[in-house]
Amino acid sequence: MRKILLSAIYLFASVLTFAQTNPVKVTDFFDDFEIKPYNGNVMDTVYNTGNDVVLPVFMRFKLKGPFGSGNFTMVPQKSFARILFELTNGFDYTPHSNAIDLSGNEWRPMTGSLYSPYVVVNLTLYKEYLGSGKLKTHFKSDYDAVNNSWNPGIVAVAKSTRNITVINVPNFIGPSQLCGEATYTIERPSAITLENATGIATLTALGNNQWKVTKIGSNSGTVQLVSTSGGKRYTKSITVGTLPPRISGPQTVTSNNSYTYSVYKSDPNSTLSIEAYAGPGMPYTLNVVGNQITLNTNSIGGNVRDYYIQLKATETNSCGTSIQTVYSVRFRGGDGPIN
């Protein structure tokens, strides 16, 4: 009698377990899995700046029949999916920490639909393995409908994939100014060139992601170290030598007026030297205060020859003294002729 009772309990337990599962193979239930950009953001191009890339995506599954009909009345219990990122070299890894539980309510399709709702899945593309490749989906159920057991389950691969292109963003390491020469290390480099450098500086490849920029003679200027990646230009501006200052103000003046000129340093840490002198008997005066020059003109006849006034300035920093900036001002006599 006890043996019969135990058999009955076993039979009941077996029937209960079976009733709590959907005895349909996942390959007969799920038709495909789709991955698309989250919230309209572009996901197909990822920029590698040397950090992990957090990439939220939308994911949904497609059924092989309308939900609520035939064998499609419930998602097979213990159904899981994993997104894999497969690099072009064949290496792949899982960019999310936990398996995706497909039996949760957020995945439940509406009756009559072939698709589940879109669900956000947060992926992390790790910097150590960041390269172009594709996202693909593996799915399985821990319940083996063929052998009516919970292990080992059945694993399948979805048909749909999503290509990801990774563009390496270069990082320039080196000084923004050089006096003679300087070495630059470029992380994640591509094609390297030096632009606006004619007569100013040269570029030499040293290997091991390093390049040397060398000043030519006594010339100075601003050059651009350029790395082109994925059709985009990434640049680092380099000041070669000491740049001259800039003078701003009116270049034509007339009698009985006052004018102010400003001298602007190229390097905020440099020292200015300004030359602004009026010779004896000149019908104008010049006064320098700080980085400003004041020009006061007196009355001169309308038919006299124009005066040409020169304002001069140089700039000195750790690289030496710049070439002289010469700013010419024409002092016209009334409405007289321009000579």
Q: Specify the CATH number for the domain of residue 274.
A: 2.60.40.60
Residue 64, in any domain of the structure: yes
What is the Cα–Cα distance from 96 to 87, expressed in whole angstroms? Answer: 16
From first to last of its 339 residues, what are the pLDDT tens digits of the chain? Answer: 333 333 332 332 233 333 345 567 888 899 999 999 987 777 889 999 999 999 999 999 999 999 999 989 888 878 899 999 999 999 999 999 889 999 889 999 999 999 999 999 999 999 999 999 999 999 988 766 666 665 556 689 999 999 999 999 999 999 999 999 999 999 999 899 999 999 999 999 999 999 999 999 999 999 999 999 988 999 999 999 999 999 999 999 999 999 999 999 999 999 999 999 998 889 999 999 999 999 999 988 766 788 999 999 999 999 999 999 999 999 986 544 443
Is 293:273 a contact under the CB 8 Å cutoff? no
Residues 162 and 175 in one domain: no
Residues 32 and 161 in one domain: yes
Which residue, of 168, 185, 217, is where some domain finishes? Answer: 168
Residues 188 and 232 in one domain: yes
Residues 190 and 92 in one domain: no
pTM: 0.75
Is 332:253 a contact under the CB 8 Å cutoff? yes
What is the Cα–Cα distance from 21 to 275, expressed in whole angstroms? Answer: 93
pLDDT value, residue 149:
62
Q: Which two three-digit tokens encode residue 236? A: 């680092």
Is 99:59 a contact under the CB 8 Å cutoff? no
Residues 157 and 195 in one domain: no
Q: Which residues contact 83 (CB under 8 A, 6 or more apart)?
A: 35, 57, 59, 94, 95, 96, 100, 121, 123, 135, 136, 137
Residue 339, in any domain of the structure: no
Residue 336, in any domain of the structure: no
Residue 338, in any domain of the structure: no
Residues 71 and 148 in one domain: yes
Residues 204 and 100 in one domain: no
Residue 296: domain span: 246-331
Which residue, of 129, 148, 168, is where some domain finishes? Answer: 168
Residue 139 belongs to domain with CATH number? 2.60.40
What is the Cα–Cα distance from 221 to 200, expressed in whole angstroms? Answer: 6
pLDDT value, residue 12:
27
Q: How many domains does the chain have?
A: 3
At 318 the three-state DSSP class reads: coil
Is 22:74 a contact under the CB 8 Å cutoff? yes
Which residue, of 196, 219, 240, is where some domain finishes? Answer: 240
Residues 91 and 8 in one domain: yes
Residue 337, in any domain of the structure: no
Residues 30 and 105 in one domain: yes
pLDDT value, residue 36:
93
Phi/psi-derived region of residue 70, left when phi > 0, alpha when psi is between -120 and 50, beta in every other case: left
Residues 265 and 299 in one domain: yes
Is 239:322 a contact under the CB 8 Å cutoff? no
Residues 277 and 156 in one domain: no
Residues 77 and 139 in one domain: yes
